[in-house]
Amino acid sequence: MIYKKGDIILRPFTELEVWDDVVSTNYREWFERPEIVELTSHGILPKTMESFVKYIQRNDGSSYIVYSICIEEERNDGNGLKFGKKHIGNIALQQINWINRSAELAIIIGEKDYHGKGIATFAVNCMLYHAFVKMGLHRVWSGTSEENKGMQRVFEKCGFDDEATFREAKWSNGKFVHIRGFGILGDEWEPPEEFLPYGNK
């Protein structure tokens, strides 16, 4: 299933996309940029393109689902303007537990120019719709560094509860930092306009 709003597109991330022009040459570099990964669980260990391919090959929906976040934009290839897609991030439902009907949500917006533009909020709502409506899950949870105020605002906008603080649970920039744990149940999620008339809410 593909999700779209304006020039934002979310679609299942496939092995082919690692090699075609949907994925920017900066993809691997996202995980090496301190300003991108320092407040997340990404970037702890070095990554290779082969590791990305293996990760995506297991993207079969049984234990995790990964979507690419792209922006449609005009490009000039020398022969005139045309529309293309710029890969700016990924979002995933992982640690899917079919018995407990729960999953962890993880997101990275690797291109900093697209931070603070509502893209993460839209992407998270897409994954909540996918989790609760398409997959029939009961609970989605996530965590972020206590210093990551932007991600905390996204969770709050999407209706997550601030459930717990895991004290000094992550080593970051030479110190231990707290992790804030967030969660939301299917009957607590209020779908935004792009998902109406789902539930007629």
- List, edge to edge, every strand of the sheet that includes 3-5: 3-5, 8-12, 65-76, 81-97, 102-109, 139-145, 175-185, 161-172
Domains and CATH numbers, the chain: 3-200 (3.40.630.30)
> In the Cβ-directed half-sphere of 127, how many Cα atoms lie within 13 Å?
34
pTM: 0.83
Over the stretch 31-76, which tens digit does the pLDDT of each residue have?
666 666 665 555 555 566 676 667 666 667 778 899 989 998 766 5
Residue 146 pLDDT > 70: yes
Under a CB-based contact definition with an 8 Å cutoff, are residues 36 and 110 in contact? Answer: yes
Please give the residue that has the higher pLDDT: either 111 or 142: 142
pLDDT digits (tens, 9 = 90+) for 88-137: 989 999 999 999 999 999 998 988 889 899 999 999 999 999 999 999 99
